[in-house]
Amino acid sequence: MLKLLVAVFVVIVSTISASANAFHLNPDQGASSSMATFGPTTIPIGYYEYCQRYAKRCERTAQGSSVKLTPNRWRQIVGVNSSVNTSVVPKTDPEIFGVEERWVYPDGVGDCEDYALLKRKILNEQAGIPLGALSMTVGRDANGGGHAVLTVITDMGDFILDNVEPRVLPWQEAEIRFLKRQSSTDPNLWVSLVRESRVRDAGSNASNQANSIAATNLRK
């Protein structure tokens, strides 16, 4: 019976993935169930400041870079996504804190990254999914605005947990231009989801060095 459930689950996910419609937003990404990464990039200021305030949270290691996706695991992921989305009222950081950017666990209200942080916490601490398989991810939404979501990295591909979308979607289905996310091997390093041009690469050494220094400081 379990084998049958798994087989049905695989067919459902494969069908969803086949109908991908967001490649036009991510021209550097290939037609794969997992997003391609293009090396280290800068750490979002919101995450850096979050780790300055909550150093203990950022001292944790990846403890695994992927999770096996079973029917039960899928139910856990969908359940957490729905629970957080329906229990938190969306408000912007300027509305809540009077500042442009602040990453925190939401207390009844929150911005997009706050939803993602809470989902990450619950899936790690209650469902046992390693942090390396739960990547905070930033990009641009369909309207061009900055947006953050949680990416769950599985053996069947990458799935997006978004506060403005009730469904858990394969990354290809999300109407998001993905820019960067946490590394699956070190949560304090971030990797690019867009291919850097040669010109930009030539001038990025100082930026990458600064990023490495910042990541080292986060781990202290």
Give me the half-sphere count of Cα atoms (radius 13 Å) on the Cβ side of residue 7: 4
Helices (H), the chain: 2-18, 45-53, 71-87, 93-96, 112-125, 198-202, 205-219
pTM confidence score: 0.84
> How large a percentage of the chain has pLDDT more than 90?
76
C-alpha distances (whole Å) from 142 to each of 26, 38, 172, 194, 210 are 12, 22, 13, 17, 31
C-alpha distances (whole Å) from 115 to each of 37, 150, 171 are 24, 9, 17
Above 70 in pLDDT, residue 207? no
Q: pLDDT-derived band of residue 21, with 50, 70 and 90 as boundaries?
A: low
To the nearest 10 degrees (0 to 180), the angle between helices 45-53 and 205-219 is: 20
Read off φ and ψ for residue 47, nearest 5 degrees. -70, -40
Q: List domains and CATH numbers for the chain.
A: 44-219 (3.10.620.30)
pLDDT at 1: 53
- 55-75: pLDDT as tens digits: 999 999 999 999 999 999 999
pLDDT at 104: 98
CA 99/CA 97 separation, integer angstroms: 5
Triad 15, 19, 25: Cα angle to 5°:
140
> Among residues 147, 154, 143, which one has the least CA distance to residue 116?
147
